[in-house]
Each structure stands twice: as structure tokens, then as C-alpha cells.
């Protein structure tokens, strides 16, 4: 496989690559027909990306060879804990501590083109995005019925700390987190599981 280069993008460079990113989105979502959660909508992705690009704190890392192979992007989590609004039960203490200390980062998108080393590539772009913001914990939200996406996150090293509703009383979402570094991982292991693994975090 051609060596992969990782590169951080500013908001302005994201705009220049918008159509390429939309193509990557469609390619990364290729799954058997009939799955409503994995049916790619290029325009919906572009619309969400445009909203993110209006945020000055947007950060993105891309992986490329002779074409775009993957990317991860998102925004820093606010220290006030509002990201976890609607969380059901008790938020793990270590997650709360990392949030209020400014060490958490919210991933709004991870796109990886299917290939033999896709799992390793996913971890690389995730880790590069976190280290670029001196963050120790990645966070995201996934519809609890979207099992293919949850399975992908599990294969990329994410752990599930439970469920929340956003907005309150509306959709139920799973809350996977991605610990960076051995110390952070040790603090979270044993507290969380991904759906399908059994234990208190299972769906």
C-alpha cells in the first residue's frame, strides 16, 4: 500500500476540499442495501460540514496517498460539561475530570475509505487530531440503533460510557469515548463497554 500522509487542515482548506470530503463520505459509507443508518446522503453530509466550518475552532486531520483515504474532524468540548447534558445515570468520574480540565475533544466526523489497513488508519487520524489539541479523550454521539457505526467505533478503539438524550426527551444516543494514551485508557477500562459486549454499557 502507498504510504499514507497525515495533514492538519485549517477551516479554509476544508472549504477547498469540500467536494473531495463529500466523495470520501459516500465511499466510506458503502454497505449492503436496505440499511437506513448507512445509506449515504452526500448533500446531508455537505450541509453538516458547512455548519461545522462556521465554527472557528473546527479542526480536521486528513489521511492521503494519491487520493483522500480518511479524515477526522471536530471541536473542543466545553469545560462546563454541557456536552454530557441528558446523560442517563452517573457520568464516569474520569470522563468528567477530563472534560472540566479541558482535555476532551468532540469528534463530529470520522471517515475512512475501506481498505486492508483501515483500522490502523482510523486510529492514526484520531490520535493526531487529539494530540494537536493536547486532548486526552475523544467523545462522540451515535444513534443507538446505528449498529454498523457503533461496531466501527468499537473496532477503532472506542469505549461506550452509556446513553444520553439530545435534545432532552428526544433521540437516544450512545456516547462512545476514545482514550488517548495508556494512562487514560487504564482510567476508563472496566468502567465502560461497547454495545454487544455485555456488561452495564450493553444495548
The predicted structure's pLDDT at residue 178: 95
Residue 50's CB is within 10 A of a number of other CB atoms, namely 12
Residue 36 lies in a domain: yes
Q: Which helix (H) or strand (E) holds 52?
A: helix 42-53
**Mean pLDDT of successive 10-residue segments in the chain (203 residues)?**
85 89 86 52 89 91 93 95 91 92 95 85 94 94 90 91 80 92 67 45 33
pTM, 2 dp: 0.83
Residue 118 lies in a domain: yes
Residue 198 lies in a domain: no
Q: Please give the DSSP secondary-structure letter assigned to residue 166.
A: S
Residue 177 lies in a domain: yes
The predicted structure's pLDDT at residue 194: 46
Residue 199 lies in a domain: no
Q: Please give the DSSP secondary-structure letter assigned to residue 8.
A: E
The predicted structure's pLDDT at residue 166: 77
CATH of the domain at 72: 3.40.630.30
Closest to 131 in 3D by CA, of 72, 68, 192 = 72
Residue 200 lies in a domain: no
Q: Which three cell numbers mark 105?
A: 475533544
The predicted structure's pLDDT at residue 34: 52
Residue 203 lies in a domain: no
Domain with 38, as residue range(s), is 5-188
Question: Could you tell me which residues are beta bridge partners of residue 59?
Answer: 74
The predicted structure's pLDDT at residue 119: 86
The predicted structure's pLDDT at residue 79: 95
The predicted structure's pLDDT at residue 145: 87
Please give the tally of structural domains in the chain: 1
The predicted structure's pLDDT at residue 66: 87
| Pairing mode, strands 59-64 and 68-76 | antiparallel
The predicted structure's pLDDT at residue 116: 76
Residue 196 lies in a domain: no
Amino acid at each position: 500500500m502507498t504510504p499514507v500522509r497525515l495533514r492538519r487542515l485549517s477551516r479554509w482548506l476544508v472549504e477547498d476540499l469540500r467536494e473531495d470530503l463529500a466523495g470520501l463520505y459516500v465511499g466510506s459509507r458503502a454497505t449492503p442495501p436496505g440499511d437506513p443508518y448507512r445509506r449515504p446522503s452526500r448533500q446531508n453530509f455537505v450541509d453538516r460540514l458547512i455548519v461545522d466550518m462556521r465554527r472557528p475552532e473546527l479542526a480536521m486531520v486528513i489521511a492521503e496517498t494519491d487520493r483522500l483515504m480518511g479524515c477526522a474532524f471536530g471541536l473542543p468540548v466545553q469545560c462546563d460539561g454541557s456536552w454530557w447534558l441528558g446523560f442517563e445515570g452517573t457520568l464516569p468520574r474520569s470522563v468528567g475530570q477530563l472534560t472540566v480540565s479541558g482535555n476532551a475533544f468532540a469528534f463530529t466526523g470520522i471517515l475512512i475509505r475501506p481498505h486492508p489497513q483501515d483500522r490502523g488508519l482510523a486510529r492514526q487520524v484520531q490520535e493526531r487530531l487529539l494530540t494537536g489539541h493536547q486532548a486526552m479523550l475523544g467523545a462522540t454521539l451515535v444513534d443507538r440503533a446505528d449498529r454498523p457505526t457503533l461496531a466501527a467505533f468499537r473496532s477503532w478503539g472506542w469505549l461506550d460510557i452509556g446513553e444520553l438524550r439530545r435534545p432532552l426527551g428526544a433521540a437516544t444516543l450512545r456516547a462512545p469515548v476514545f482514550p488517548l494514551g495508556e494512562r487514560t485508557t487504564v482510567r476508563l477500562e472496566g468502567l465502560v463497554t461497547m454495545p454487544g459486549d455485555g456488561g452495564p454499557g450493553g444495548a
